[in-house]
Structure 1
Amino acid sequence: MAITPLAALHRKLFDETDGGKFATLKDRLIKKHGETDRLAVMEILSDYAREGQLLHWRSSLVNSIVGLMQPQELKDFFTWAVTQPTLAYWGIDGLLKSAGKEAYGTVVALAVADAMPREVRAKAVKSLAVFSRQPFDAGLSQDPGHWKLDSLRLDDVLAWQRAGYPDGAGFAPPATHASLADPVSVLEKAAARLEKRLAKERKQDQDLARPSNWLVIASEADLAAIDQHWTLPEQYRRFLARYSPLRVHIDSKRYFQGLNLYGAAELIKAQHGYAYNPVDQKVIVGWPANYVVIADAGADPYCLDLSAIADGDAPVYTAEHGAGTWEFVRHADSFVDFLKEVAKA
């Protein structure tokens, strides 16, 4: 009897000992047969996750299975997977997808289990937050693998359990200024163009527990703190008030390692290492006193020159870090021109 292409891939996958070749076979299996023979592919992958010889690939395959499965499928497999420390990280998502709210008790137990690896416990909290729409992950990194144990809100999780696992409200998008949808001035139009670009980024990757790539209305407290430090150009001050960048990163070849555009909440701290040494609590000698860092690209600063304010705006200068002395060059004639460039980058 002839061996089918799927059976041949199955055999090759289990026989392969080279990690790179294994990855190619796994991708071919999912791409060629993931839709037409989805159940059979999931069975092959789950068998490998249980018994495959390349141990470091087992956890990754669990994640692949989660991507292929439909709700309520493979409950027995995921019930077993979360008992395995090396598979539990992605197994948590599979268990929630297959068992729904019935899995809450098991996942809570993983979150509070001292014997489980830190990243598994963090993943349990993150996945519970996503599935239940409770704010257990508010303000934390999108990747729970980066969480510290003391950041796990276990008391909140246990209180939620005692309350009977109620659904939460989720996270509302940050508040934005109405002029982004109906821009009139030159500044408003530049900000609206940047918002359009950022909206595309958010569509691809966004976690409202810690939102990124937004232009938001700044808090009065942040603006007051800024006003105590500087008298900013009117255009930039209005930009911060109405369109304060919230974790905005512009991924573009125009800027070395991409551009980080600072918002009102981080502008003062952003001067650390440039104009101010927070360890010694001293002004850094050699930094131009009238320069305010508003962005950086791979630590290369972009600064407003407050000594050259004219018509409510100021030029933007930049320099390469690590050269020993700062050698600034004029980058844009005004902040609005810089904003237009960023929006098009």
Structure 2
Amino acid sequence: MAVAPLAALHRKLFDETDGSKFARLKERLLKKHAAHDRLAVLDILTAYARDGQLLHWRAFLMSDIVQLAEANEHSAFFAWALVQPELAYRAVDGMLKSIGKDAYAPLVALAASSIASLEVRAKAVKSLAIFSRQPFDAGLPTDPGHWKAEQLQLDAVLAWQRDGTPDGAGHALPVTHAALEDPRSPLEKAAARLEKKLAAIRRKEQDLAQPSNWLTIASAADMAGIAQRWALPEHYRRFLACHSPLRVFINSPQYFQGLSLYGAAELIKAQHGYAWNPVSGEAIAGWPEQYLVIADAGADPYCLDLGAIADGDAPVYTAEHGMGAWRFERHADSFIDFLNEIAAAA
């Protein structure tokens, strides 16, 4: 009697000892059966997470399990996984997806645990913040694996629990300029083109605790600090004031390792290692003093030539780093041209 395809895959998964072959079997299981036999596939994956012989795959499967599970499913499994050190990180989201607010108490306890790893405790705080819309993660890295112990906000989490775990208001959206919706000048139109591309990126992935890929209104303090150091061409000054990039990264093959476009808050610090030594504050020999770094692609700088300002704009130059000496080439005739290029590449 022939073995049913799903049962055969189940047996092969549990028998396989080669990690690469296991990965292919797992993908076949998901592709062929997850859509119409979701619960059966979940049973196979949770069983492997409990007892499978490839220990690293027991942890890797947690992402698929959390994705496949729906509300009120496998709560006992997720509660068990939460106390397994190698599974707890992904089990946090499984608990919230399965039992919602009933997961708050065990997750707060996990966050406060002196036994759990810092990474798992941080994950508990991060996921609680997202689910409850409380600002426990404000200003912290999107990946809780990068948090430090002093950033856990445990006092705030415990106070929230004592207050009855109310829902929060979530993080406010960055403030943007109206010209992005009604662009009129060439600069505004270029910024609006870029904003349209950035909005598409944000729809795919965005963490408002650490917002990225926004064009925002710069603070007066940041603009004042910039004005004390440089006389900027008017188009670039207005771009920073009205459409200051907030963690804007253009992941395009057009730019080596992608392009980081600086905002007003980071422009001064961005000159470190190019124009001046960040430790001594001294100018670095060989750097053209009229060049202002406004972006970089894998540390290759893109610079405005402040010595060639004309009609409110300036050309953009670039060079490869690590060549022993800077060899700059003209990249764009103006900042507006450079902005349009970025918008097209995004």
Partners of 2:332 and 2:281 lie apart in 1 by 31
Partners of 1:59 and 1:226 lie apart in 2 by 48
One-letter code aligned to 1:188: E
Match status 1:212 vs 2:229: no
Partners of 1:156 and 1:284 lie apart in 2 by 45
SS at match of 2:35: coil
2:203 match: 203
SS at match of 1:277: coil
Partners of 2:280 and 2:226 lie apart in 1 by 21
SS at match of 2:138: coil
Q: Please, what is the CA RMSD of the aligned residues?
A: 0.8
One-letter code aligned to 2:242: R
2:51 match: 51
SS at match of 1:304: strand
Partners of 1:16 and 1:173 lie apart in 2 by 48
SS at match of 2:78: helix
1:170 match: 170
2:127 match: 127
5+ residue gaps, structure 2: none
1:204-256 CA distance string (max 9 Å, x none)? 11111111011111111110111111010000000001110000011111110
Post-superposition shift, 1:138?
0.9
2:337 match: 337
1:177-201 CA distance string (max 9 Å, x none)? 1111111110011001111111111
Match status 1:80 vs 2:87: no
Partners of 2:281 and 2:331 lie apart in 1 by 30
2:282 match: 282
1:93-132 alignment, distance < 5 Å:
93-132=93-132
Match status 1:19 vs 2:37: no
1:272 match: 272
1:114-263 alignment, distance < 5 Å:
114-263=114-263
2:326 match: 326
SS at match of 1:276: coil
SS at match of 2:245: strand
Partners of 1:105 and 1:71 lie apart in 2 by 18
Partners of 2:178 and 2:281 lie apart in 1 by 40
**Identity value in percent:** 70
TM-score by length of 1: 0.99
Post-superposition shift, 1:278?
1.2
Match status 1:71 vs 2:71: yes
1:261-282 CA distance string (max 9 Å, x none)? 0000000000000001111221
One-letter code aligned to 2:57: W
One-letter code aligned to 2:76: D
One-letter code aligned to 1:16: E
Partners of 1:226 and 1:141 lie apart in 2 by 26
Partners of 2:133 and 2:153 lie apart in 1 by 14
Post-superposition shift, 1:115?
1.0
Partners of 1:29 and 1:142 lie apart in 2 by 31
Partners of 1:129 and 1:71 lie apart in 2 by 19
Post-superposition shift, 1:172?
2.1
TM-score by length of 2: 0.98
Partners of 1:234 and 1:323 lie apart in 2 by 33
Residues 280-289 or 50-59, more deviating: 280-289
One-letter code aligned to 1:143: D
Post-superposition shift, 1:131?
0.8
1:275-303 CA distance string (max 9 Å, x none)? 01111221111111111100000000000
Post-superposition shift, 1:2?
2.5
Post-superposition shift, 1:139?
1.2
Give the number of aligned pairs: 345
Post-superposition shift, 1:78?
0.6
Match status 1:291 vs 2:305: no
1:309 match: 309
Partners of 1:45 and 1:195 lie apart in 2 by 41
Partners of 1:90 and 1:193 lie apart in 2 by 38
SS at match of 2:225: helix
One-letter code aligned to 1:145: G
Residues 38-47 or 58-67, more deviating: 58-67
SS at match of 2:91: helix
SS at match of 1:283: coil
1:140-195 CA distance string (max 9 Å, x none)? 11111111112111111111111111111111221111111111110011001111
Partners of 2:171 and 2:72 lie apart in 1 by 26
